[in-house]
């Protein structure tokens, strides 16, 4: 079983610049188990390396979440650490629109920028973990905000899109 304790990044070493087109693209599924007859996007060892490097880059930049597009990889992978460390492969989110909260958010793609964003205060996420096991987890508060922010990255949406919107 792979642990989520990162070692120094080896393959992907830094964040992409805010004008990189990968940040505006909808990320492709990893397809860990070759579902629907499609070939998985990467081998298990490549996926371990990607998640390791993402965790390392996130920690090095004092972040609480990171999506693969932020390091130039257009795949549906996010990591976060808001007290507990998670790696989510091909996550799918369900929001509770009845319970929303406003809050300030930052983003590693835009250092120093803060934007007020309205988010669901609780979400349910289905995802594969790093070992390929399908999981489902409920998140609230900061963890819910973080996972929604990272999911935006997978769909080509950036923090700055909220800057002048009514959310």
Q: Hey, which residues are catalytic here? A: 150
Three-class SS of residue 81? strand
Rounded-to-integer distance, Cα 61 and Cα 14, Å: 9
Give the pair of three-digit tokens for residue 145: 């905000």
Rounded-to-integer distance, Cα 153 and Cα 76, Å: 9
Rounded-to-integer distance, Cα 45 and Cα 39, Å: 15
Give the pair of three-digit tokens for residue 48: 């371990």
User: Cα-flanking dihedrals φ and ψ of residue 30, to 5°?
Assistant: -75, -35
Q: Which residues pair with 66 in a beta bridge?
A: 79
Q: Are the CB atoms for 76 and 31 separated by under 8 Å?
A: no
């Amino acid at each position: 079983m792979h642990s989520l304790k990162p070692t120094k990044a080896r393959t992907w070493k830094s964040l992409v610049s805010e004008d990189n087109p990968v940040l505006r693209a909808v990320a492709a599924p990893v397809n860990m188990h070759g579902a629907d007859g499609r070939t998985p996007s990467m081998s298990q060892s490549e996926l371990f390396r990607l998640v390791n490097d993402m965790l390392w880059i996130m920690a090095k930049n004092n972040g609480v979440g990171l999506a693969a597009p932020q390091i130039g990889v257009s795949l549906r992978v996010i990591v976060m650490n808001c007290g507990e460390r998670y790696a989510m492969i091909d996550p799918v989110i369900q929001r509770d629109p009845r319970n929303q909260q406003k809050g300030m958010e930052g983003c590693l793609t835009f250092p120093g920028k803060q934007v007020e964003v309205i988010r669901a205060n609780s979400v349910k996420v289905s995802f594969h973990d790093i070992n390929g096991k399908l999981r489902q987890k409920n998140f609230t508060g900061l963890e819910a905000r973080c996972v929604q922010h990272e999911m935006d990255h997978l769909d080509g949406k950036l923090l700055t899109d909220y800057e002048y919107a009514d959310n």
